[in-house]
Structure 1
Protein backbone atom coordinates (compact mmCIF):
# COMPACT_ATOMS: atom_id res chain seq x y z
CA UNK A 1 0.00 0.00 0.00
CA UNK A 2 1.15 3.53 -0.77
CA UNK A 3 0.05 6.56 1.25
CA UNK A 4 -0.06 10.08 -0.16
CA UNK A 5 -0.94 13.03 2.04
CA UNK A 6 -1.17 16.73 2.70
CA UNK A 7 -0.52 17.99 6.23
CA UNK A 8 -1.57 21.18 7.93
CA UNK A 9 -3.26 22.86 4.99
CA UNK A 10 -4.61 26.18 6.27
CA UNK A 11 -7.97 27.67 5.30
CA UNK A 12 -10.06 30.54 6.55
CA UNK A 13 -13.65 29.32 6.26
CA UNK A 14 -17.15 29.84 7.66
CA UNK A 15 -18.14 26.46 9.11
CA UNK A 16 -20.02 26.41 12.39
CA UNK A 17 -23.37 26.42 14.15
CA UNK A 18 -23.26 29.93 15.55
CA UNK A 19 -24.25 33.07 13.60
CA UNK A 20 -20.95 34.84 14.32
CA UNK A 21 -19.03 31.92 12.76
CA UNK A 22 -20.89 32.49 9.52
CA UNK A 23 -19.88 36.17 9.57
CA UNK A 24 -16.29 36.27 10.81
CA UNK A 25 -15.30 32.69 10.05
CA UNK A 26 -12.42 30.85 11.63
CA UNK A 27 -9.08 29.31 10.79
CA UNK A 28 -9.05 25.62 9.93
CA UNK A 29 -6.23 23.16 9.45
CA UNK A 30 -6.74 19.95 7.52
CA UNK A 31 -4.65 16.80 7.17
CA UNK A 32 -5.54 14.35 4.40
CA UNK A 33 -4.03 10.93 3.72
CA UNK A 34 -5.09 8.50 1.02
CA UNK A 35 -3.92 4.96 0.43
CA UNK A 36 -3.68 3.26 -2.95
CA UNK A 37 -2.30 -0.12 -4.02
CA UNK A 38 1.47 0.17 -4.14
CA UNK A 39 2.90 -3.13 -5.26
CA UNK A 40 5.28 -1.76 -7.89
CA UNK A 41 7.37 1.41 -8.31
CA UNK A 42 5.57 4.52 -9.53
CA UNK A 43 7.08 6.10 -12.66
CA UNK A 44 4.36 8.51 -13.78
CA UNK A 45 2.05 10.94 -12.02
CA UNK A 46 -0.88 9.17 -13.68
CA UNK A 47 -0.06 6.07 -11.60
CA UNK A 48 -0.57 7.81 -8.28
CA UNK A 49 -2.70 10.42 -6.53
CA UNK A 50 -1.40 13.90 -7.30
CA UNK A 51 -1.32 15.90 -4.07
CA UNK A 52 -2.11 19.08 -6.04
CA UNK A 53 -5.21 17.20 -7.18
CA UNK A 54 -6.07 16.49 -3.54
CA UNK A 55 -5.87 20.19 -2.77
CA UNK A 56 -8.08 20.92 -5.78
CA UNK A 57 -10.69 18.56 -4.32
CA UNK A 58 -10.51 19.98 -0.79
CA UNK A 59 -10.53 23.70 -1.56
CA UNK A 60 -14.03 24.07 -3.08
CA UNK A 61 -15.55 21.98 -0.30
CA UNK A 62 -13.92 24.18 2.35
CA UNK A 63 -15.45 27.21 0.62
CA UNK A 64 -19.02 25.98 1.21
CA UNK A 65 -20.10 26.80 4.79
CA UNK A 66 -21.47 23.85 6.75
CA UNK A 67 -22.84 23.84 10.30
CA UNK A 68 -20.89 20.69 11.26
CA UNK A 69 -17.28 19.73 10.62
CA UNK A 70 -18.50 16.15 10.23
CA UNK A 71 -20.33 17.21 7.07
CA UNK A 72 -17.14 18.70 5.68
CA UNK A 73 -14.92 15.64 6.22
CA UNK A 74 -17.53 13.27 4.74
CA UNK A 75 -17.90 15.52 1.68
CA UNK A 76 -14.12 15.59 1.20
CA UNK A 77 -13.86 11.80 1.53
CA UNK A 78 -16.62 11.27 -1.05
CA UNK A 79 -15.10 13.80 -3.47
CA UNK A 80 -11.65 12.22 -3.21
CA UNK A 81 -13.04 8.77 -3.99
CA UNK A 82 -14.97 10.17 -6.95
CA UNK A 83 -11.86 11.83 -8.43
CA UNK A 84 -9.48 8.98 -7.54
CA UNK A 85 -11.34 5.64 -7.73
CA UNK A 86 -8.11 3.76 -6.94
CA UNK A 87 -8.11 5.14 -3.37
CA UNK A 88 -8.78 2.33 -0.92
CA UNK A 89 -8.62 4.31 2.31
CA UNK A 90 -8.69 7.93 3.41
CA UNK A 91 -7.99 9.66 6.69
CA UNK A 92 -9.15 13.25 6.99
CA UNK A 93 -8.68 15.39 10.09
CA UNK A 94 -10.16 18.87 10.28
CA UNK A 95 -9.23 21.25 13.11
CA UNK A 96 -11.12 24.42 13.99
CA UNK A 97 -8.63 26.76 15.62
CA UNK A 98 -9.75 28.72 18.68
CA UNK A 99 -13.37 27.52 18.59
CA UNK A 100 -15.84 29.91 20.26
CA UNK A 101 -16.46 27.92 23.44
CA UNK A 102 -16.02 30.44 26.24
CA UNK A 103 -12.68 28.88 27.22
CA UNK A 104 -9.14 28.85 25.91
CA UNK A 105 -9.13 25.88 23.51
CA UNK A 106 -6.39 25.52 20.91
CA UNK A 107 -8.61 23.60 18.50
CA UNK A 108 -11.47 21.22 18.10
CA UNK A 109 -10.99 18.29 15.72
CA UNK A 110 -13.05 15.88 13.67
CA UNK A 111 -11.32 12.91 12.02
CA UNK A 112 -12.75 10.44 9.55
CA UNK A 113 -11.02 7.21 8.60
CA UNK A 114 -12.83 5.57 5.70
CA UNK A 115 -12.16 2.29 3.89
CA UNK A 116 -13.67 1.99 0.41
Structure 2
Protein backbone atom coordinates (compact mmCIF):
# COMPACT_ATOMS: atom_id res chain seq x y z
CA UNK A 1 0.00 0.00 0.00
CA UNK A 2 1.16 3.51 -0.82
CA UNK A 3 -0.02 6.53 1.18
CA UNK A 4 -0.13 10.05 -0.24
CA UNK A 5 -1.13 13.02 1.87
CA UNK A 6 -1.44 16.71 2.43
CA UNK A 7 -0.78 17.86 5.98
CA UNK A 8 -1.73 21.06 7.77
CA UNK A 9 -3.33 22.92 4.88
CA UNK A 10 -4.45 26.23 6.45
CA UNK A 11 -7.65 28.02 5.48
CA UNK A 12 -9.77 30.87 6.73
CA UNK A 13 -13.34 29.72 6.14
CA UNK A 14 -16.91 30.30 7.29
CA UNK A 15 -18.11 26.90 8.55
CA UNK A 16 -20.15 26.75 11.71
CA UNK A 17 -23.57 26.63 13.32
CA UNK A 18 -23.60 30.14 14.72
CA UNK A 19 -24.34 33.28 12.64
CA UNK A 20 -21.12 34.93 13.86
CA UNK A 21 -19.08 32.08 12.40
CA UNK A 22 -20.64 32.71 8.98
CA UNK A 23 -19.66 36.39 9.19
CA UNK A 24 -16.29 36.40 10.96
CA UNK A 25 -15.08 32.96 9.94
CA UNK A 26 -12.38 30.97 11.62
CA UNK A 27 -9.02 29.36 10.91
CA UNK A 28 -9.02 25.69 9.94
CA UNK A 29 -6.36 23.06 9.34
CA UNK A 30 -6.95 20.08 7.05
CA UNK A 31 -5.02 16.80 6.84
CA UNK A 32 -5.78 14.30 4.07
CA UNK A 33 -4.25 10.87 3.57
CA UNK A 34 -5.18 8.41 0.84
CA UNK A 35 -3.96 4.88 0.23
CA UNK A 36 -3.60 3.21 -3.15
CA UNK A 37 -2.20 -0.19 -4.12
CA UNK A 38 1.58 -0.05 -4.05
CA UNK A 39 2.31 -3.26 -5.88
CA UNK A 40 4.55 -1.83 -8.58
CA UNK A 41 7.09 0.93 -9.08
CA UNK A 42 5.45 4.26 -9.98
CA UNK A 43 6.98 5.98 -13.00
CA UNK A 44 4.31 8.55 -13.86
CA UNK A 45 1.99 10.96 -12.06
CA UNK A 46 -0.86 9.22 -13.91
CA UNK A 47 -0.13 6.09 -11.83
CA UNK A 48 -0.58 7.79 -8.48
CA UNK A 49 -2.63 10.41 -6.68
CA UNK A 50 -1.37 13.94 -7.26
CA UNK A 51 -1.21 15.75 -3.91
CA UNK A 52 -1.81 19.05 -5.75
CA UNK A 53 -5.11 17.51 -6.87
CA UNK A 54 -5.94 16.61 -3.26
CA UNK A 55 -5.22 20.18 -2.18
CA UNK A 56 -7.38 21.62 -4.98
CA UNK A 57 -10.34 19.49 -3.90
CA UNK A 58 -9.92 20.54 -0.27
CA UNK A 59 -9.60 24.22 -1.24
CA UNK A 60 -12.78 24.11 -3.32
CA UNK A 61 -14.81 22.46 -0.55
CA UNK A 62 -13.45 24.76 2.16
CA UNK A 63 -14.78 27.73 0.15
CA UNK A 64 -18.41 26.55 0.56
CA UNK A 65 -19.72 27.29 4.09
CA UNK A 66 -21.39 24.39 5.89
CA UNK A 67 -23.00 24.40 9.34
CA UNK A 68 -21.31 21.15 10.43
CA UNK A 69 -17.68 20.12 10.08
CA UNK A 70 -18.94 16.57 9.58
CA UNK A 71 -20.52 17.69 6.30
CA UNK A 72 -17.24 19.21 5.18
CA UNK A 73 -15.16 16.06 5.75
CA UNK A 74 -17.77 13.84 4.06
CA UNK A 75 -17.83 16.19 1.05
CA UNK A 76 -14.02 16.10 0.84
CA UNK A 77 -13.89 12.33 1.13
CA UNK A 78 -16.55 11.84 -1.56
CA UNK A 79 -14.95 14.32 -3.96
CA UNK A 80 -11.50 12.76 -3.53
CA UNK A 81 -12.83 9.23 -4.19
CA UNK A 82 -14.70 10.48 -7.27
CA UNK A 83 -11.55 12.05 -8.73
CA UNK A 84 -9.27 9.15 -7.77
CA UNK A 85 -11.29 5.90 -7.93
CA UNK A 86 -8.16 3.79 -7.29
CA UNK A 87 -8.09 4.95 -3.67
CA UNK A 88 -8.63 2.11 -1.22
CA UNK A 89 -8.65 4.15 1.99
CA UNK A 90 -8.93 7.81 2.95
CA UNK A 91 -8.55 9.77 6.16
CA UNK A 92 -9.72 13.38 6.24
CA UNK A 93 -9.29 15.48 9.39
CA UNK A 94 -10.55 19.03 9.88
CA UNK A 95 -9.52 21.18 12.83
CA UNK A 96 -11.32 24.37 13.80
CA UNK A 97 -8.83 26.57 15.63
CA UNK A 98 -10.01 28.39 18.77
CA UNK A 99 -13.64 27.27 18.46
CA UNK A 100 -16.13 29.73 19.99
CA UNK A 101 -16.98 27.72 23.10
CA UNK A 102 -16.29 30.19 25.89
CA UNK A 103 -13.23 28.17 26.92
CA UNK A 104 -9.54 28.07 26.13
CA UNK A 105 -9.43 25.25 23.55
CA UNK A 106 -6.75 25.04 20.89
CA UNK A 107 -8.99 23.30 18.37
CA UNK A 108 -11.89 21.00 17.78
CA UNK A 109 -11.47 18.17 15.28
CA UNK A 110 -13.62 15.99 13.06
CA UNK A 111 -11.94 13.07 11.33
CA UNK A 112 -13.41 10.63 8.81
CA UNK A 113 -11.72 7.35 7.88
CA UNK A 114 -13.14 5.31 5.00
CA UNK A 115 -12.13 1.97 3.52
CA UNK A 116 -13.35 1.31 -0.02
TM-score by length of 1: 0.99
**1:105-116, aligned counterparts within 5 Å?**
105-116=105-116
SS of 1:30 mapped into structure 2: strand
CA distance in 1, matches of 2:40, 2:89: 18
Hey, what does 2:51 align to over in structure 1?
A: 51
CA distance in 2, matches of 1:20, 1:33: 31
**Deviation at 1:35?**
0.3
**Deviation at 1:101?**
0.1
CA distance in 1, matches of 2:81, 2:94: 18
Alpha-carbon deviations, 1:20-55, whole Å to 9, x = none?
A: 000000000000000000001111000000000001
Is residue 60 of structure 2 the alignment partner of residue 60 of structure 1?
yes
Q: Which structure 2 segments of 5+ residues have no match? A: none
Is residue 74 of structure 2 the alignment partner of residue 104 of structure 1?
no
**Deviation at 1:56?**
1.0
CA distance in 2, matches of 1:105, 1:115: 31
Hey, what does 2:34 align to over in structure 1?
A: 34
Question: Would you identify which runs of 4 or more consecutive aligned residues in structure 1 move more than 2 Å?
Answer: none
Alpha-carbon deviations, 1:52-90, whole Å to 9, x = none?
A: 000111111000000000000000000000000000100
Hey, what does 1:92 align to over in structure 2?
A: 92
Q: Which structure 1 segments of 5+ residues have no match? A: none
SS of 1:20 mapped into structure 2: helix
TM-score by length of 2: 0.99
